[in-house]
Amino acid sequence: MEKHPHTAACLAGALILLSSGEAARATDEIQVYNAGIADIGQFTIQQHLNYVALGQKDPPFPGGIPSNHSLNGTPEFAYGMTDWWELGLYLPFSVQDRQFLSDAFKLRTLFVAPHAEQRNFFYGVNFELSYEMPKFAQTRWGLEIRPIIGVRNSQYEFIVNPIVDIGFGNKGEADFAPAARLARNFGNDLFAGFEYYADFGEIGNFSKLSEQQHTLFAVTDFKAGAFDVDFGVGYGLTPASDRLVVKTIIGYAFPVPGQKADGNSRTSSGPTNPFTHAATRSFQP
């Protein structure tokens, strides 16, 4: 039986995408964690939205969602337990072809060096357990392990998140999907820099470079009243990457009961306004 070239190409593309755990689901959160957490007893909320203007047109696996022209995001709720521990909840979703699709939920627990924003060198680790729907992943349960390592001064910040994504089940694997951020403080709550996101594929069996995902974002962070805003435009550097992605994060930190509200407070975990009070080393949640 003669094989149609297009069919063979589609099958090859599907096999390539199946080798990547990150490609197997919509990207609801594009973010580099900076070890900032909510204050003790404080609730925070962030709304993540990412639009894939030019992306992959074929689904990552049979029945999956192609990324092209998809709007993905999640509300993220967090609560500060101690000065080194924060709990969080995500409710991921995707909108495509006028359909709203839920990706169930994620639970996370974040541990950081106490008062990380007072430190020139800071660190932490985030564990994120996810339960996912069939259109988003081929495994129902997954675990993200995200170490946080960073250095900063009053002008610059450099952070690395060497992430490991683990899918449980007979189709699961452990992928290496690192992220990094380099940004500068321009004053007046305005920050700009670059963020880098990658997926090398299965640990111990990395994909070829053309089959890996590598995306570089130009980002800016600023405050709009009581809200923190992060905005970025990303360009895919390899054929397996989404070519053009726009992301935004809008965050709000609720006042801590019994404490005076601080307009300079920022939301947890995210990249928004990472240099707030960095020069004076005054702790902010």
Lowest mean per-residue pLDDT among 1-5, 89-93, 234-238: 1-5
| 117 vs 62: CA distance, rounded Å | 44
pLDDT single digits (tens) 69-106: 999 999 999 999 999 999 999 999 999 988 999 999 99
16 three-state secondary structure: helix
Confirm if 257 and 42 have CB atoms less than 8 A apart.
no
pLDDT single digits (tens) 123-153: 999 999 999 999 999 999 999 999 999 999 9
Contacts of 260 (CB under 8 A, 6+ apart): none
Q: What is the mean pLDDT of residues 167-176?
A: 93
User: Which helix (DSSP H) or strand (DSSP E) does residue 85 occupy?
Assistant: strand 85-90
Q: Write the Ramachandran bin of 273: left for phi over 0, alpha for psi from -120 to 50, otherwise beta.
A: left
What Cα–Cα distance (Å) separates residue 257 from each residue in 39, 184, 275?
11, 33, 25
